[in-house]
Copies of this chain bind each other. A is one copy, B any other.
Amino acid sequence: MSSLQNFTYDELEIGQTATFSKTLTEEDITLFAATSGDINPVHLDADFAATTMFKERIGHGAWTGSVISAALALVMPGPGTIYLSQNLSFRAPVKIGDTITIHLTVTDKKDDKKFVTLDTKAVNQDGKNVAIGTSEVIAPTEKMTLPRPELPTITLG
């Protein structure tokens, strides 16, 4: 994808689906800890994590939430979406190397305010739900095609 395109409110239909995937890397965990301030050792310290029920380092639950936000912002409805609310129930840990696919399904539309409700499911490469929930957004009314912003190089060390 070299550009981002949205679905306008009128283009969205109940039952419409979209997906977005991201693989959790060790670097992603470090960056998430830095940006959020959440330096919980279960995410960062392999020795500590080995003593927990998870046995190894896991991704932040809120990281999975952030990938849902990416799915809404980039894929459906896409650019111009305004995020109103999210609820999320965490069902299973995400490990380094896991590929999480966000499955979005439009479940409701409110024409007067252009509110759209979406079912949001985060599923790992084994088909297991790691988080399930619901998003409410205001969908864009204007069709947009935008260049994908480039991020600067990030170096750790």
- Which of A's residues lie within 8 Å of B, judged by CB? 4, 20, 22, 28-42, 44-45, 48, 52-53, 60-63, 65-70, 73-74, 79-80, 82-90, 146, 148-149, 151-157
Chain A at the B interface: SS class: mixed
Are B156 and A153 neighbours in the complex by a CB distance under 8 Å?
A: yes
Q: Which chain B positions have C-beta within 8 A of A22?
A: 36-37
Residues of B within 8 A of A29 (CB): 35
Q: Which residues of B contact A33 (CB under 8 A)?
A: 149, 151
Measured CB to CB, the closest approach of chain B to A129, in angstroms, equals 13
Chain B residues with CB under 8 A of A4: 41
Within 8 Å CB of A37, what residues of B? 20, 22, 67, 70, 74
- How many protomers of this protein does the assembly include? 2
- What is the CB-to-nearest-CB distance from A78 to chain B, in angstroms, rounded to a whole number? 9
Give which listed residue, B73, B87, B146, B148, contacts A87 with CB less than 8 A: B87
| Docked pose: A68 CA to B31 CA in angstroms | 16
Tell me whether A35 and B66 are in contact in the complex, defined as CB-CB below 8 angstroms, given that A73-B40, A79-B40, A87-B86 are known contacts.
Answer: yes
Q: Are B83 and A85 in contact (CB under 8 A)?
A: no
